[in-house]
Amino acid sequence: MNEVIKRPSSPATAIPPLAHTNSTDVPNNPVLQPSSEASGLQKSLDALEAQTQSLRQALLAKNQECKATGATCGRHFKGLATLPLPITPAKVVLFLNYEMTRPQKRKLSDGSESTSTCGHEHAKQVVSALEQYRSNHAHEYRGVPEAQVNLRSDSRIRLLESSFKANEPEYQEGSCPQSCWNASWF
């Protein structure tokens, strides 16, 4: 009853080594080959995606018709039009740096030109316009991860927006309206 059964040292289910086979000997795996049904389905999904994106773009344009948003965004976006698309945080940082140092293009009431630079409200509008364009066209750049990043989530852009305020003349002089010093804080 207590007999020990010896088994062969090599298992019976061992896989024999593969001999060199010709590629024509290997059957095609239908799972790995794209079928006409799968490619047809992908074409249908692509067409559906394109149709829904064009519908969304049309609705956005209609919503902006009666608002100043479209004109404002277009005005700010045309300054960035020289940079290649897609809009990414790194490109916006370079653009904001340029905007910070360029003089405002406006004439004063006496006919002279302004010597001030763009202020923090301008920077906010630029970032908002570019973020709106980026989010509306993000579907066109799905393969670019940087194009999917919200601009205001980037610390460089937030820092530049606050730097615009620090560069404004009333903040550089260190003057604060007298009313803020007279306020009772206690």
- DSSP 8-state class, residue 15: P
Q: Which two tokens stand for residue 147?
A: 């194009």
- DSSP 8-state class, residue 97: H
The kind and range of the H/E element at 96 are: helix 89-101
The phi-psi region of residue 118 (left if phi > 0; otherwise alpha if psi is between -120 and 50; otherwise beta) is beta
Per-residue pLDDT of the chain (186 residues; tens, 9 = 90+): 556 555 555 555 444 554 554 545 555 555 555 566 778 888 888 888 888 878 877 877 777 676 666 666 666 666 665 667 888 999 888 888 888 877 777 677 777 776 666 777 888 888 888 898 888 888 889 899 999 999 999 999 998 888 887 766 655 555 444 444 344 433
Domain ranges of the chain: 68-104+114-171
Model pTM? 0.54
- Which residues does residue 117 pair with via DSSP β-bridges, in sequence order? 103
pLDDT tens string 20-48: 545 455 555 555 555 667 788 888 888 88
